[in-house]
Amino acid sequence: MAKSVSNENSVLPQQALMSMLLGVPVLHMITTAAHLGIPKKLEAGPLSAREIADQCGTLEDATYRLMRGLSAVGVLHELEGRAFSLTPIGECLRPGRPGSFDALAKLSGSAWCSGSFADLMHSITTGESAFSKQHGEELFSWFSSHPEEEQLFGDAMSTFSGVEVDLVLSAYDFSSARSVVDVGGGHGMLLARILGVTPAARGMLFDVPKVIERAKATWLAGSLLKRCEAVAGDFFKKIPEGGDLYILKHVLHDWDDTRALQILSNVARAMPLGGKLLVIEQGVAPRGVASPGKILDIVMLALLEGGRERSADDHQKLFEQVGLRFDRQIDTPGPISLFLGTR
Ligand SMILES: C[S@@+](CC[C@H](N)C(=O)[O-])C[C@H]1O[C@@H](n2cnc3c(N)ncnc32)[C@H](O)[C@@H]1O
């Protein structure tokens, strides 16, 4: 039976609501700890708030209160003598490891990202992006003049990929793919991992120029570049031909139906007859089923002009409008689904 969205466990409704309302301070506690490098400093073992404050140049008492607060939400353990260690949740924030949440923690609490949610009313009353209202342009065009934010965004997307790649690899059999094109593939983590399990396949990463540069220096660095082209371009103009499997992961949800259709029709034009398309999204689960995609949908509403999560029916309609057959939805045990199409 579908799991209900309503709160059915033993937590009182008031307690549940209280912890939801504390989401903003908790987010900023985690973001601040990431910026101070606290998870990194605790890698080698416990440290006291005083030692952390000395290393960070912060106030000892305020640093202790920050770390104690983080222990209240399970990110740190509080030990004797105002010392702290990382919990398994805190371990996920250690930077420099595949799938680290460091960049996502910094991104989520950044003024441009979290500030957009303070203006959610604008999106709910007009359907327009709160981000665009505040910054006077859309997120992806704003990135072209904000390279540091663009890099942080790309690194944070790799956090999502770190959680999702194993789910994708176990949900879909890539063994027959000969040429995989990841469109809007970010820093290339998914493509690198797919090529890792398909030694005979070639790959192509397609994204905007700055992101492609970073991909070459990170996930596609080294010998992988021999089997993988990294191509800069604009998916609204033309998508390279030559793949037998095209991937769009967390790309269509950034755009309204009109622009999603432009991307899809450029993909369809590039695909050979019989070629496959994998759209990977959190998607929207049926009515009454609690799924994180229903929250991500609000993130899309606030940050991106026309961005939205879509159901399997929505994907089927989009596929059919560009002449692709919608084959099926493949669910994973995690928060993402694969929507499979054929030309
Ligand atoms: C939400 S991210 C998803 C990245 C990656 N697929 C993932 O799942 O981690 C969307 C990607 O689309 C890329 N993108 C945005 N506009 C683009 C355009 N006009 N042409 C090509 N790529 C674009 C962004 O640079 C970004 O890497």
Instruction: For residues 311 and 286, give the distance between their C-alpha atoms in angstroms, rounded to a whole number.
Output: 8
DSSP-assigned states of every residue in 196-246: HH-TT-EEEEEE-HHHHHHHHHTTT-GGGGGTEEEEE--TTT------SEE
Q: Is 315 part of the annotated catalytic residue set? A: no
pTM for the predicted model, two decimal places: 0.89
Compute CA 313 distance to the chain's CA centroid, rounded to the nearest angstrom.
23
Mutate to test the pocket of ligand 1, among 107, 151, 157 (most ligand atoms within 8 A of CB): 157
CB 75 within 8 A of CB 89: yes
251 lines ligand 1 (CB under 6 A): yes
214 lines ligand 1 (CB under 6 A): no
Mutate to test the pocket of ligand 1, among 139, 251, 255 (most ligand atoms within 8 A of CB): 251
Name the amino acid, one letter, at 314: D
pLDDT digits (tens, 9 = 90+) for 42-93: 999 999 999 999 999 999 999 999 999 999 999 999 999 999 999 999 999 9
Mean residue pLDDT across the chain: 94
Give the pLDDT score at 163: 84
249 lines ligand 1 (CB under 6 A): yes
Give 74's Cβ-side CA count (13 Å radius): 3
In which order are the strands placed within the sheet that holds 76-78?
47-48, 83-86, 76-78
Compute CA 105 distance to the chain's CA centroid, rounded to the nearest angstrom.
12
Distance from residue 67's CA to the centre of ligand 1 (Å): 35
| For the CA of 280, the nearest atom of ligand 1 | 8
For the domain bounded by 13-94, which CATH number is listed?
Answer: 1.10.10.10
Give the pLDDT score at 8: 55
Give the pLDDT score at 143: 95
Instruction: For residues 233 and 230, give the distance between their C-alpha atoms in angstroms, rounded to a whole number.
Output: 10
107 lines ligand 1 (CB under 6 A): no
Nearest to 278 by CA among 228, 227, 243: 243
Residue partners of 254: CB distance under 8 A and separation at least 6: 140, 300, 304, 307
215 lines ligand 1 (CB under 6 A): no
Q: Where are the beta strands (DSSP E) in 91-201?
A: 179-183
Helix/strand number for the chain, H first, E second: 17, 10
For ligand 1, atom 3: residue with the closest CA: 250
Distance from residue 184's CA to the centre of ligand 1 (Å): 4
CB 188 within 8 A of CB 222: no
Give the pLDDT score at 9: 61
Q: Is 192 helix (H, G, I), strand (E, B) or coil?
A: helix
Name the amino acid, one letter, at 288: G
pLDDT digits (tens, 9 = 90+) for 1-56: 444 445 456 789 999 999 999 999 999 999 999 999 999 999 999 999 999 999 99
Sorted by where each begins, the domain ranges of the chain are 13-94, 156-342
Q: Within 10 Å of residue 128's Cβ, how many Cβ atoms?
A: 14
From first to last of its 343 residues, the chain has per-residue pLDDT tens of 444 445 456 789 999 999 999 999 999 999 999 999 999 999 999 999 999 999 999 999 999 999 999 999 999 999 999 999 999 999 999 998 877 999 999 999 999 999 999 999 999 999 999 999 999 999 999 999 999 999 999 899 888 888 899 999 999 999 999 999 999 999 999 999 999 999 999 999 999 999 999 999 988 888 787 899 999 999 999 999 999 999 999 999 999 999 999 999 999 999 999 999 999 999 999 999 988 999 999 999 999 999 999 999 999 999 999 999 999 999 999 999 999 999 9
Residue tagged active-site, from 122, 187, 250, 253: 253
280 lines ligand 1 (CB under 6 A): no
| For the CA of 189, the nearest atom of ligand 1 | 9
235 lines ligand 1 (CB under 6 A): yes
Question: Across the chain, which distance is largest between two alpha carbons, in Å?
Answer: 67
Percentage above 90 pLDDT, the chain: 88
Give the pLDDT score at 97: 82
For the domain bounded by 156-342, which CATH number is listed?
Answer: 3.40.50.150
